[in-house]
Amino acid sequence: MFNASDYLLQAAVDPVTAGRRAVTGPAGELTYAELAELVGHIAAGLRAWGVRAEERVMLLMADGPETAAAILAAMRLGAVPVPVSTMLTGPELAELLGDSRARVLLVSEEFTAAAESAVARVPGIRYVAVTGAAEGTEPAVPAGVRLRPFSELVEEGRRRGGELQDPYITSEDSAALWLYTSGTTGKPKGAMHRHANIRHVVESYARQVLGITSADRCLSVAKLFFAYGIGNSLFFPLAAGAETVLDPQRPTPQSVAERLTEYRPTLFFAVPTFYAAMLRSDVPREAFDSVRLAISAGEVLPADLCRRFADRFGVEILDGIGSTEALHIFLSNRPGLSRPGTTGTAVDGYELRVVDGEGRDCAAGEPGSLLVKGESIATGYWCRTSVTRQVFQGEWLHTGDTYVVDDDGYYTCLGRTGDMLKAGGIWVAPSEVEARLLQHPAVSMAAVVGLPDEDGIDKPVACTVLADGAQAGPQELIEFCRDGLAAFKRPREVLVVDELPTTASGKLRRHAVRELAAERLGHATE
């Protein structure tokens, strides 16, 4: 038997550590004993609502003590928590609810509009629990769906004697967590993780690279619905008996500077886009006085950005790469051994290969596709047989990244193997943005590519061809995308062009589109 919630709550059952603070932040704080008690109550409440082992429980929740406890409670019950992006629109959330077959949706009050829209579109939802909703602001739900305050779920468990009991009998291979990703293709897919996967990322990356101990305090810009964030803010600190700072607010350089100053974290996690934003802000150097290590993942960290951050704030950034499918970072620089511009070396517990188009290992200095093998790799994608077979091949996961490795074992990213790109560390499918642009009555053709900004970080840029006689400005089209997609997917620039470069057969030449956009933007900024 192995249950990840049991593994992560060991500090709660030890009299020496039970009184230590586990969770802190603007939304409240809990000791390890209090966290375990809340987990027990939520688990008992979910059981009373009919949630059974291996059923999915979806969470559209801001980071905070209740969210952390709900994730652990579902795992403890043998059910499968599915935290999803709080940036989703109603239709996007509905797609994931329908795909996951979840019957229970847990929602933070600020996201009730998206929840209301989604639940109206998807049959099968039985309970919606909302945290902190004021009277009159609860979402409208269809007949047959029971709307409850989250506090009632907790109280239901308390009435049923929901103290922290033995977890449901799960094994290392039992389903523990689903995380949705668009990392290899544009359509969201649920990556299915075992209970053992959670232990593996702790024992490999957290202990061996970060050297995390009970004296650490973690602050992550990436939220709990990210694979990166849930490791940073939940798995790593709890497994070490350390403390996590959970902030429900959308991060800005100013808000994060305030959290750094108030909570004094020792480990700080962000993505390159956010590190660049902090360099452009007036965050004082002393904000990072407590931080012993800063960690970057999600997208390539340019060497110059890494050096400028260290010069200004006096903190070393460890750049690494992970993926939703691998649960966390499997390739990373090490403290004191970083080489800016590279992604470092393989984390102990993982094997890496760089292969050519025929699957043969590339020589040092020869670019190829990056493959990874390790115990934290997902078992596959839910109900996506074809894509699962493409991405998960035997023990190896195809990351979709092009890499080169040198004679010292340091890996350097050369970009994506396919068309997918990232914005702020989050996958964006060009096809999804293009489809939205084509819904605008003025747009007849659209192509989206990634181009580096002033910090060397790729951002989505759209090239559009307007219909005959139609008119639409760049800002109008950007706002049109924002209205129909999660905000991070919007193109940062929209260019109106006479035609898009295509092959003789009419296929879009994305490389030529990228060159066209770069030329146009270069002229525009001179």
Give 198-214 pLDDT, tens digit per residue.
999 999 999 999 999 99
pLDDT at 499: 87
- Given pLDDT bands bounded at 50, 70 and 90, which one contains residue 296? very high
- DSSP letter at 473? -
Average pLDDT of the chain is 91
Q: Where residue 202 sits, what CATH number does that domain have?
A: 3.40.50.12780
- Kindly state the helix (H) or strand (E) to which residue 322 belongs, with its residue range: strand 317-322
Q: With left for phi above 0 and alpha for psi between -120 and 50, is residue 174 left, alpha or beta?
A: beta
Give yes or no for residue 524 having a pLDDT over 50.
no
- How far is the C-alpha of 325 from the C-alpha of 178, rounded, in Å? 10
pLDDT at 164: 66
Give yes or no for residue 184 having a pLDDT over 60.
no
Q: Tell me: the pLDDT tens digits for 402-458?
A: 899 999 999 998 877 766 677 777 778 787 788 889 899 999 888 899 888 888 888
Give the count of domains, the chain: 3
Q: Where residue 100 sits, what CATH number does that domain have?
A: 3.40.50.980
Asked if the structure places residue 251 within a domain, the reply is yes
- How far is the C-alpha of 378 from the C-alpha of 375, rounded, in Å? 9
Strand order in the sheet with 189-194: 175-181, 189-194, 380-381
- Given pLDDT bands bounded at 50, 70 and 90, which one contains residue 467? confident
**DSSP state string for 334-400:** -TT---TTS-BEEPTTEEEEEE-TTSPBPPTT--EEEEEEETT--SEETT-HHHHHHHEETTEEEEE
Q: Determine how β-strand 104-108 pairs with β-strand 56-60.
A: parallel
Give yes or no for residue 504 having a pLDDT over 70.
no
Of the candidates 416, 438, 473, which is a domain's last residue? 416
Asked if the structure places residue 184 within a domain, the reply is no
Of the candidates 389, 416, 443, which is a domain's last residue? 416
- Given pLDDT bands bounded at 50, 70 and 90, which one contains residue 272? confident
- How far is the C-alpha of 123 from the C-alpha of 226, rounded, in Å? 26
Asked if the structure places residue 190 within a domain, the reply is no
Give yes or no for residue 523 having a pLDDT over 50.
no
Looking at the fold, whether 37 and 91 belong to one and the same domain comes out as yes
Give yes or no for residue 349 having a pLDDT over 60.
yes
Asked if the structure places residue 178 within a domain, the reply is no
Number of H helices, E strands in the chain: 16, 27
Looking at the fold, whether 213 and 348 belong to one and the same domain comes out as yes
Asked if the structure places residue 442 within a domain, the reply is yes
Residue 343: domain span:
197-416
Out of 19-33, 335-349, 403-417, which region has the weakest mean confidence (pLDDT)? Answer: 403-417
Looking at the fold, whether 334 and 482 belong to one and the same domain comes out as no
Token match 């802000």: residue? 281
Asked if the structure places residue 421 within a domain, the reply is no
- How far is the C-alpha of 102 from the C-alpha of 96, rounded, in Å? 9
CA distances in angstroms from 45 to 153, 194, 296, 433, listed in the order given? 5, 23, 37, 40
Q: Which residue(s) pair with 403 in the sheet?
A: 368, 413
Asked if the structure places residue 187 within a domain, the reply is no
Give the global pTM. Answer: 0.85
Looking at the fold, whether 277 and 409 belong to one and the same domain comes out as yes
pLDDT at 136: 63
Looking at the fold, whether 223 and 361 belong to one and the same domain comes out as yes
Looking at the fold, whether 156 and 286 belong to one and the same domain comes out as no
User: In terms of Cα–Cα distance, which of 62, 39, 291 is closest to 167?
Assistant: 39
Give yes or no for residue 90 having a pLDDT over 70.
yes
Percent of the chain with pLDDT over 70: 95
Asked if the structure places residue 501 within a domain, the reply is yes
Give yes or no for residue 526 having a pLDDT over 50.
no
Looking at the fold, whether 84 and 127 belong to one and the same domain comes out as yes
Looking at the fold, whether 444 and 372 belong to one and the same domain comes out as no
Looking at the fold, whether 39 and 106 belong to one and the same domain comes out as yes
Looking at the fold, whether 114 and 248 belong to one and the same domain comes out as no
Looking at the fold, whether 85 and 122 belong to one and the same domain comes out as yes
Of the candidates 170, 187, 222, which is a domain's last residue? 170
Q: Where residue 500 sits, what CATH number does that domain have?
A: 3.30.300.30
CA distances in angstroms from 458 to 399, 415, 416, listed in the order given? 18, 10, 11
Looking at the fold, whether 410 and 477 belong to one and the same domain comes out as no
Contact predicate 171/1, CB 8 Å: yes
